[in-house]
Structure 1
Amino acid sequence: MAALGIVLHLGFLAWSVFAVWQNFEVTGSRLNHGAHSYGGRWKYLTFLNQVLQTAFFGVCLLCDLLQLCLSTRNRLCSVLTRLKDCIFAVLAFPVGVFVFTSFWSLYFYDRELVYPKDLDSIIPHWLNHAMHTAILPLVLIELLACSHHYPSKKNGFAVLLVFSIAYLSWVQWVHFAADIWVYPILAKLDAVGMLVFFASSFFVILAFYCLGEWLTRLRWGSGRPSKKRRKKKSN
């Protein structure tokens, strides 16, 4: 099982690194791309998600290698496994699914709100799909192939809330500092519309967190041992 995980995560990590590298190569060569404005690529949730997924699969691969070489009860293995599970549950799955769903929903409604047609001359179609499409099958395969223990909803929601507030604060700061909106849709909203948009986005990402937890339990059963079982193990 560890060997299968190594092959799987090595492939996912290689693809993620390639996608991030191509993002730098393609957008870096065109000065009219937003990557050259204030905040660079780091103001786009798509790019942040790419980096997040790359880091996540890197942790997964490291966990697989350590479990192959050391006992799964090794302290370092246990810490990395908990870290891997937390990243997947709270960030990698819900943020990845959110990027896929929100991008393509807005794209098919009116692509100018999120991905203006001018970008087609800068970003090739395959790279667009690498950034916005490929992430969905990757996180779904990860969910089906590897078991992940979810934290309590209280802790999971708290981390998601901190992440969401941090990113939205960053988006507002970019607008304040450089008078630019990260996404064209934001320029079309008034204060109330923006509040509704941000609030609804947060509840959608919370829904994807719950979806990931439900799918994980459906595939693997309850990921949290009962109190009775924990007491027996401790005895």
Structure 2
Amino acid sequence: MVLGARALRAAALLHFLCLLWATFALSQNIGLPKSVRKAQDTTYGGHWKHLTFLNQVLQNILYILCTTIDTVALCLPSEEKTVSRALVPIRDFIFSAFVFPIGLFVAVAFWGLYAYDRELVYPKELDDINPSWLNHSMHTTILPLLFIELYICPHKYPSRIKGIFGLAFFAVTYLVWILWVHYKSGIWAYPVLGVLSPGGMVIFFFVTFVIMVTFYFLGEQLTNWLWTRRKKKYA
């Protein structure tokens, strides 16, 4: 075992706190009662056309799985093997193929475009709808959550074929979805898509996927480097 009982309890606490924050941030994004949002997204596709929102959903799913696994391990040790056998592979695949590369991409792409021209990704009028801290909960705090998870939990990456295929399936599905939203409503999920030519859009989507794959490899290498060192230390 790489981590001792004390470290496992600490990881469980961190997972629970991350789940509370991720759930709160998601609830404020979708405008649940007492939300700080001044208006909800009622256009075609709603929040589901935004990669930021999908990433928040994925993070919530991940932390629900993590908290469930931790709770069983700490409170029902006799059931740990059964639950872990069923849920750990799902948890690890979601983190490796979706949460890490997509979450890192959301943060890097959003703030990169924001710095270049915010109107391409987050028009100024949105400041009247979302307070600044909510914007950061959607596009900034997701980043430390990724590295906290990478640091406290030894995720087993799938084979590269399976991992890249999973990421590619998500990317293609999302691309088809936002093209459908535009076809049905004339709305682009992000303003930057409205200023690109068809050729420019193809290049944009291709570069976007290459970046996501690069982030997938980054997560894989960081995980291997960190947990190989820990296994040697505790061997």
TM-score, normalised with respect to structure 1: 0.90
Structure 2 residue aligned with 1:155:
162
Structure 1 residue aligned with 2:3:
none
Contact 1:72 1:78 in 2 (8 A): no
Secondary structure of the residue aligned to 1:221 is: helix
Secondary structure of the residue aligned to 2:188 is: coil
Alpha-carbon distance in structure 2 between the residues aligned to 1:27 and 1:146: 32
Structure 2 residue aligned with 1:74:
81
Contact 1:94 1:206 in 2 (8 A): yes
Structure 1 residue aligned with 2:219:
212
1:76 Cα deviation from its structure 2 partner: 2.4
Structure 2 residue aligned with 1:14:
20
Structure 1 residue aligned with 2:136:
129
Contact 2:38 2:128 in 1 (8 A): no
1:28 Cα deviation from its structure 2 partner: 6.2
Structure 1 residue aligned with 2:10:
4
The 5 Å alignment of 1:105-124 reads 105-124=112-131
Alpha-carbon distance in structure 2 between the residues aligned to 1:161 and 1:219: 26
Give me the identity figure in percent: 45
Alpha-carbon distance in structure 1 between the residues aligned to 2:198 and 2:78: 54
Q: 1:45 aligns with which of 36, 40, 51?
A: 51
1:29 Cα deviation from its structure 2 partner: 4.1
Alpha-carbon distance in structure 1 between the residues aligned to 2:216 and 2:163: 8
- Give the alignment's Cα RMSD to 1 decimal: 1.7
Residue 202 of structure 2 aligns with an amino acid whose one-letter code is: L
CA displacement 1:41-67 (0-9 Å, x = unmatched): 111110111111011101000011112
Structure 2 residue 36 is the aligned partner of structure 1 residue 55 = no
TM-score, normalised with respect to structure 2: 0.90
Residue 66 of structure 2 aligns with an amino acid whose one-letter code is: C
Residue 138 of structure 2 aligns with an amino acid whose one-letter code is: M
Structure 1 alignment gaps of length 5 or more: 224-235
Structure 1 residue aligned with 2:192:
185
Alpha-carbon distance in structure 1 between the residues aligned to 2:118 and 2:20: 30
Alpha-carbon distance in structure 1 between the residues aligned to 2:94 and 2:19: 15
CA displacement 1:202-226 (0-9 Å, x = unmatched): 0100000000001001100299xxx
Structure 2 alignment gaps of length 5 or more: 1-6, 231-235
Contact 1:60 1:84 in 2 (8 A): yes
Residue 62 of structure 2 aligns with an amino acid whose one-letter code is: F
Contact 1:23 1:127 in 2 (8 A): yes
Alpha-carbon distance in structure 2 between the residues aligned to 1:131 and 1:73: 33
Aligned length: 220
CA displacement 1:175-203 (0-9 Å, x = unmatched): 00001111100000111100000010001
